[in-house]
Amino acid sequence: MKRKPSLLRPLAAAIAVALAVIGWSAPPAAAAGPNLAAGKPVTVSSTTDVYGGGNATDGNQATYWESANNAFPQWIQVDLGSAVSVNELVLKLPSTWESRTQTLTVQGGTVNPPLTTLSASATRTFAPAATITFTAATVRYIRVTVTANTGWPAGQLSEFEVYGPGSGDTQAPTAPGGLAYTEPASGQIKLTWTAATDDVGVTGYDVYANNTLRGSVAGNVLTYTDNQPGTLTVAYYVKARDAAGNQSPARTPSPAPAAAAPAPTWPPASRSPPPPTCTPTSPRTPTTTA
Ligand SMILES: [Ca+2]
Ligand SMILES: [Ca+2]
């Protein structure tokens, strides 16, 4: 009986026709941006019959994924193709189905594994869609894990829609260019770079020292002054960011693209101590203390 059409179906159809005639459209249930999961590849823990995972990103609410039955937990995952900022899911079931709840967790990550929890396990009502919002996170992979379903003992989704923050901006800036440095004072390194570009706008730059975020500046600032002991050798790179949280690639020093300046290191090579070596010249002799 799970796929039995609701008795309300004719009425629903009539309403849909009426709305179409007067040109009304439902307000977007999600943020202003496009559905980032549309047409994207899907992987699933299991399927039943012909109800494969690809049905969840085909844009057709009537086609659905159904997991193996009586085998919770079950999951479905979308690969967005690149890391983008997301903060909302709209999960749908066919519009003719009776309302039901599914208990589910949302996870995401820029790589997989690991995935981190974006929305903790909760019982969601599908009537026939469920909207789940969460703190914006930059992810490429996003997974829904289902542990219960009051309508049928399986995970079921007919559309898996993913949205980002209101700007709808999903394109990362270009990497900043021309990264260089000067030494304005002892123990100081002043980095400069040229502006990145973005389809909407660069709102900030993040400066990393030895692969750790060192500081951030606004999108109209193209310099950062760091203080480091002169005895340290520090490798820097800078990434650009837009308002939606999309982050550019880093300018990495090796292999340096022909047109790009290599990332500077501090102190200059002429002042760098020789690399440490650890080659004992004779067998180690244990030492003892009194
Ligand atoms: Ca579908
Ligand atoms: Ca952008």
User: Average pLDDT over the chain, rounded to whole?
Assistant: 80
**23-50 pLDDT per residue, tens:** 333 333 445 568 999 999 999 999 999 9
CA–CA distance, 105 with 127 (Å, rounded to integer): 18
> What is the CA(256)–ligand 1 centre distance, in A?
45
Q: Which ligand is nearest to the CA of 59?
A: 1
SS (H, E, C) the chain: CCCCCCCCHHHHHHHHHHHHHCCCCCCCCCCCCCCCCCCCCEEECCCCCCCCHHHHHCCCCCCCEECCCCCCCEEEEEEEEEEEEEEEEEEECCCCCCCEEEEEEEEEECCCCCCEEEEEEEEEEECCEEEEEEEEEEEEEEEEEEEEECCCCCCEECEEEEECCCCCCCCCCCCCEEEEEECCCCCEEEEEEECCCCCCCEEEEEEEECCEEEEEEECCCCEEEEECCCCCCEEEEEEEEECCCCECCCCCCCCCCCCCCCCCEECCHHHCCCCCCCCCCCCCCCCCCC
* In contact, 209 and 234? CB cutoff 8 Å: yes
Q: Residue 266's pLDDT is what? A: 62
Least confident of 12-16, 174-178, 211-215: 12-16
> What is the CA(84)–ligand 2 centre distance, in A?
10
Q: What's the full length of the chain, in residues? A: 290
Q: Residue 118's pLDDT is what? A: 98
Grade residue 198 by pLDDT with cuts at 50, 70 and 90. Answer: very high
Grade residue 227 by pLDDT with cuts at 50, 70 and 90. Answer: very high
Q: What are the chain's domains?
A: 27-163 (2.60.120.260), 177-271 (2.60.40.10)
Q: Which ligand is nearest to the CA of 246?
A: 2
Q: Residue 246's pLDDT is what? A: 83
Q: Which ligand is nearest to the CA of 247?
A: 2
Q: End-to-end alpha-carbon separation of the chain, Å?
A: 83
> What is the CA(34)–ligand 2 centre distance, in A?
14
| pTM exceeding the 0.75 threshold for the entire prediction | no
Q: Residue 26's pLDDT is what? A: 37
Q: Residue 84's pLDDT is what? A: 84
Which long-range contacts does 267-271 make (Cβ < 8 Å, 24+ apart)?
267/183, 267/230, 267/232, 267/233, 268/183, 271/230
> What is the CA(218)–ligand 2 centre distance, in A?
15
Grade residue 250 by pLDDT with cuts at 50, 70 and 90. Answer: confident
> What is the CA(284)–ligand 2 centre distance, in A?
57
> What is the CA(169)–ligand 2 centre distance, in A?
5
Q: Residue 272's pLDDT is what? A: 43
* In contact, 176 and 182? CB cutoff 8 Å: no
Q: Which ligand is nearest to the CA of 156?
A: 1
Q: Which ligand is nearest to the CA of 245?
A: 2
Q: Which ligand is nearest to the CA of 56?
A: 1
Mean pLDDT calculated for residue range 130-145: 94
> What is the CA(223)–ligand 2 centre distance, in A?
21
**49-93 pLDDT per residue, tens:** 999 999 999 999 999 999 999 999 999 999 998 778 899 999 999
**117-131 pLDDT per residue, tens:** 999 999 999 999 999
Grade residue 167 by pLDDT with cuts at 50, 70 and 90. Answer: low
* In contact, 135 and 89? CB cutoff 8 Å: no
Give φ, ψ of 228 to 5 degrees.
Answer: -140, 145
Grade residue 15 by pLDDT with cuts at 50, 70 and 90. Answer: very low
